[in-house]
Amino acid sequence: MRPYHNIPIIECSEPLVEIPLELFAVESPHPYEKLGAPYGEHSPYFVRQSVVDCLIAAQNYLQILYPDWQIQIFDAYRPVSVQQFMVDYSFAEAVRERGLRESELSLNQRQEVWKAVYSIWAVPSLDEKTPPPHSTGAAVDVTLVDNMAQIVNMGSPIDEMSQRSLPDYYANSRESDAEQYHANRQLLCDVMLKAGFQRNPREWWHFCLGDQMWAWLNNESNPKNPPLTARYGRIF
């Protein structure tokens, strides 16, 4: 259970629609499809209609400041089956990177690896009350592309399982280029929040609108306002 799982979901039945990729930068082929993730009838570049509208608004805000820059869509809709696939893949990769073998893991080693995996990945829950954010069509993983069509350096790649994924990791860092990395992350956050999104407190790239996490973050930021509920639940 994450704190946002206590937020009730009142599904509004807004349709899942394709992101107009011609308006954005996009990673192609999709990074998880390349690994064999089982998407089924929808591509990973689907979200709810309101999320598309707000993505377009965020890019418009960005281009007021940087006319030739774009938001790059890394990932969006993710069925629970894909969430499970990526959790399993990430566990295997984390074991390999540690120079270990899964069949030989001690209990403590296994727990440490799972802790690292779930610091980034939501549990692939089939419970309708606790859907993974991406499985609702309300979450997007995004970054920025500059006027030379180059991905803006955020100081760490999307999906990295380390402290560097924390949005404010570079805020007080003495590392070389830390100030620029933080400014780049803040620019992305600023345009996304201005369009109505909320940012995952643990991932600089993950933004949501209308799901449990979004409602929870809004409620935490505005405790005097009437509490919000989620309007998007899991889509199969």
Tokens representing 134 are 């991406």
pLDDT at 94 exceeding the cut of 80 = yes
Catalytically annotated residue among 11, 93, 175, 203: 203
Q: CB within 8 A of 40, min separation 6: which ones?
A: 79, 81
In which band, very low, low, confident or very high, does the pLDDT at 25 lie, cut at 50, 70 and 90? very high
In which band, very low, low, confident or very high, does the pLDDT at 69 lie, cut at 50, 70 and 90? very high
The fold adopted by the segment(s) 3-221 is Muramoyl-pentapeptide Carboxypeptidase; domain 2 (3.30.1380)
Is 203 among the residues known to form the active site?
Answer: yes
pLDDT at 108 exceeding the cut of 80 = yes
0.85 exceeded by the pTM? Answer: yes
Q: Do you find a cis peptide bond into 31, omega within 30 degrees of 0? A: no
* Annotated binding-site positions for Zn(2+): 134, 141, 206
* Burial class of residue 110, CB neighbours in 10 A (0-12, 13-18, 19+): middle
Tokens representing 162 are 């380390």
pLDDT at 1 exceeding the cut of 90 = no
**Residue range 11-36: mean pLDDT, rounded:** 95
Q: What is the pLDDT of residues 127-147, one digit of tens each?
A: 999 999 999 999 999 999 999
Tell me what the pLDDT averaged over the chain comes to.
96
Query: Across the strands, what pairs with 199?
Result: 207
pLDDT at 42 exceeding the cut of 80 = no
**Residue range 41-66: mean pLDDT, rounded:** 96
- The residue that leads in pLDDT, 43 or 25, is 25
DSSP assignment of 79-147: -HHHHHHHHHHHHHHHHHHTT--GGG--HHHHHHHHHHHHTTSPP----TTS--GGGGT-EEEEEEE-T
At residue 50, the 3 state secondary structure works out as helix
- Integer Rg of the chain from CA: 18
* Per-residue pLDDT at 40: 84
